[in-house]
Amino acid sequence: MASSVNARGGIQSASSTLFFEQEGNKDGPAILCIHGLGGTTNFYQPVASALQDYNLIRFDLSGHGRSSPPAGKTSIESYVEDCEAVIKHFHVKDLTVAGHSLGGLIALHLAAKRPELVRRLVLFGPVKTPPEAGQNGLKARAKTAREGGMGAVADTVISGSLSPTTLQSRPEVVGFARELLSRQQPEGYALACEALANSSDPEWDKIKAEVLIVGGADNKVSAAPTREAIAASLKEAKKVEQVTWENVGHWLVLENPKGSAEVLKA
């Protein structure tokens, strides 16, 4: 079935007007999609046509894509408030929440804050609060984006985050990822880098949902030790499972759309 958007527009959150797209079956099980650093609703476009039986809800985080710049500084907490505004707008619960990278950390915080809303988490290459070296790297990247625009960071990010197989043999994926990054608002991207640099871990013991952690064997951003540490922290979750895909890097939904759609359906 082809992808067919039922509604798109803006939702007011505490800090921004959030661009959203809703498609599929409005009465079906709801899936809330949270993109990562430098992403937009289009990160999940490769799985949209396979999920038309579901109430598929995507939105751009504040300062990303077609959402307006935030009124002030952003944080993981303000991104969680973005999610809450979208959930309230659509009156949905028993959610499957998909989160990629930074979006995975946001999803974990959402599940800890609002456990009554989240039934299941599907975390594509989730990240944790970075160590000092990672914090410094993110702050330096924010500075580069502000001073040189997205063109100054896009190619470096792409070359370090897609798998060698994707880089060598799938130019359409490389081009799509580069386009997502290149069209970001530099200030919004910089604020997101700083939000991740200044982030903290969620309240792990408050996360009760089922959790699936999806990793790429070539994922340097969310490497196996990071994913294992997240899984080990989820002691109160209803169920925790992991899957790792070969020849896949950090842009998991773009690099393996068929597999991504299947794990979201489960």
For residues 195 and 70, what is the distance between their CA atoms, to the nearest angstrom?
12
Please indicate, yes or no, whether the overall pTM of this predicted structure exceeds 0.75: yes
pLDDT tens over the chain, length 266 residues: 667 789 999 999 998 999 999 999 999 999 999 999 999 999 999 999 999 999 999 999 999 999 999 988 899 999 999 999 999 999 999 999 999 999 999 999 999 999 999 999 999 999 999 999 999 999 999 999 999 999 999 999 999 999 999 999 999 999 999 999 999 999 999 999 999 999 999 999 999 999 999 999 999 999 999 999 999 999 999 999 999 999 999 999 999 999 999 999 97
| Number of compact structural domains in the chain | 1
For residues 83 and 37, what is the distance between their CA atoms, to the nearest angstrom?
15
Domain membership of residue 141 (yes or no) is no
Domain membership of residue 80 (yes or no) is yes
Q: Could you identify the residue written with the tokens 């079956």? A: 25
Domain interval for residue 259? 5-129+200-265
Domain membership of residue 135 (yes or no) is no
Domain membership of residue 211 (yes or no) is yes
Domain membership of residue 142 (yes or no) is no
For residues 61 and 141, what is the distance between their CA atoms, to the nearest angstrom?
19
Closest by CA position to 119, among listed 105, 101, 107: 107
CB 157 within 8 A of CB 248: no
Domain membership of residue 261 (yes or no) is yes
Domain membership of residue 160 (yes or no) is no
For residues 164 and 181, what is the distance between their CA atoms, to the nearest angstrom?
19
